[in-house]
Amino acid sequence: MEMFRFEHTYLLYLLALVPLLWLLYLVARNRRKKSVEAFGDHELVKQLMPEVSKSRPRWKFVFVSLGIISLVLGAANPQVGSKYEEVKREGFELIIALDISNSMMAEDLQPNRLERAKQSISKLIDQLKSDKIGIIVFAGEAYVQLPLTTDYAAAKLFLSTVSTDIVPSQGTAVGSAIDLAIKSFGEKQDKNRAIIIISDGENHEDDAVQQATTATESNITVHTIGVGSPEGVPIPMYVNGKKSGFRKDNQGNTVVTKLDETMLQQVASAGKGVYIRGNNLSSGLKTLLDEINKMEKKQFDSKMFTDYEDRFQYFLAAAVLFLLAELLLPERKSRWNLSLTLSKGEGTVKRPKKD
């Protein structure tokens, strides 16, 4: 369900140009200031050019920036839901269980295992149409991050908040994640349900294989994706966003995290699913999506907005006003302001007194 949306979301990337324009403006302004200082004494130059305004060029640039922002938002066409009704949809139900233990910060996949997994899940969400998706995160324990929903915008929002810091206990409880996913589907026995486990497979907490078998008894398929390298890499530590070294055990040895493909293959086998090694997670998720699309799809009721009203005209009107304000605002002071400045003596060059 989306009450507000942009029709052309890709155009919002153009907003990144605004900070760049401000940076160029500040650089140009700084160079101009240095040029004036090189020309002569600042106060003397100011008196020689009383018509020059210090604030007006700044305001003109502010108006241009606001105009550009309004143009981009208008071009992206913001829309508001106007018709909310219950519709029949046909699809599958998918729960992604994402490992967020410390080992997922390893950098054998760039930028690290967790971020690569999140990027690929986001791309998978983009390919869903009439399907429900839920997200479970797990480390030492498993938690529901997002219940089953057809609101893909909400799914991406919740996905963006996922990090290794949101769980209180460390570990890799794959079995707990599967058990929680089974409960999240409810009591029904439909064959349109699947679980995708994304992990490095270093399971130390429970019997994940047995839980996968339990899932199949409820007509739930369990797929697995392994992230990382079998050779193993150290786990980086960060302080204030900067790498400060690598994690060590109680004996002071550097902890090395390895991809346990055997365990993940066993889970997928017990869950009647497939295992994919995630060196390229994008292609891996595509392969899984092809497998999932082969499942029997179920029709379910879903309340959603089926019609939207455009709101681009308000932003385009704002853009015109901002750009018109920039055009009408002169860079130099008006005659009234100039007369006021001169009456105060600010535009008179002060000569040194003779003895």
The enclosing H or E element of 112 equals: none
147 & 213 share domain: yes
112 & 49 share domain: no
Domain that holds residue 22: 4-77+311-343
Question: Token digits for 152?
Answer: 């893909």
CA 43 to the chain's CA centroid:
49
150-188 pLDDT per residue, tens: 888 889 999 999 999 888 888 888 999 999 999 999 877
Determine if residue 52 is left, alpha or beta; phi over 0 gives left, psi from -120 to 50 gives alpha, anything else beta. Answer: beta
CA distance 307 to 146: 26
Q: Is the dihedral of CA 311, 315, 316, 320 positive or negative?
A: positive
Give the pLDDT band (50/70/90) at residue 281: low
115 & 55 share domain: no
3-state SS, one letter per residue, for 231-289: CCEECEEEECCEEEEECECCCCCECEECCCHHHHHHHHHHCCCCEEEHHHHHHHHHHHH
Residue 93 within a domain: yes
The enclosing H or E element of 350 equals: none
Overall average pLDDT of the 251-280 stretch: 90
98-126 pLDDT per residue, tens: 999 999 999 988 899 999 999 889 988 98
Residue 161 within a domain: yes
Which residues are CB-neighbours of 311 under 8 A, at least 6 positions away? 77, 78, 79, 80
The mean predicted confidence, pLDDT, of the chain is 83
335 & 211 share domain: no
Look at strands 242-246 and 132-138 and give their pairing: unpaired
Q: pTM for the full model? A: 0.65
pLDDT above 90: residue 138? yes
Q: What percent of the chain has pLDDT over 70?
A: 80
